[in-house]
Amino acid sequence: MAVLNIVKDGDETLRKVCRPVTEITPRILRLLDDMKDTLHKANGVGLAAPQVGVLRRIAIVECEPGELIELINPEIIEQSGEQEEVEGCLSVPERWGITHRPAKVKVKATDRHGNTFTVEGEGLLARALCHETDHLDGIIFYDKAVRMLSKEEIEND
């Protein structure tokens, strides 16, 4: 397993739509493992494959330590409510914005063993699931921000 380089804002990879995973190969499993190592090293909540330069529909989310959710071909199938919160991104270091996201989402995905599952999330988990799914479609959080925060606002928070 390895820590991968996180692609930064401005790299065209972040703006591309990712291809679905059609077969779970050893390479896909290694990517999931490497993404986990990368996420932990960066102290993030979520990471999508394009953030490490891979244009596949794969993302991971870990809002609580030890509760990693691996998502292959994730799709938001239900959403409700609304939340307005501060959001950031490992690919956009030291920039934060206020976004409107659903308060609750339900996502259908495939796990590393090829099994389809659903995960429901509220609050931070709902935001993270939406944020990472957006990455798979070339969308960056600031595209949905209602307002970006200044450095002073971040430091005084």
| pLDDT one-digit tens code per residue, 103-147 | 999 999 999 999 999 999 999 999 999 999 999 999 999 999 999
CATH code at 22?
3.90.45.10
What DSSP assignment string belongs to 96-148? EEEEEE-SEEEEEEE-TTS-EEEEEEETHHHHHHHHHHHHTTT--GGGSEEEE
pTM for this structure?
Answer: 0.95
Question: Of 62, 70, 87, 132, which is the active-site residue?
Answer: 132
Q: Is 85 labeled as catalytic in the residue annotation?
A: no
Number of domains forming the structure of the chain: 1
Residue 2, in any domain of the structure: no
Question: Which structural domain range is residue 86 located in?
Answer: 12-155
Residue 6, in any domain of the structure: no
- Pick the residue with more confidence: 55 or 152? 55
Amino acid 157: pLDDT? 64
| pLDDT one-digit tens code per residue, 8-63 | 999 999 999 999 999 999 999 999 999 999 999 999 999 999 999 999 999 999 99
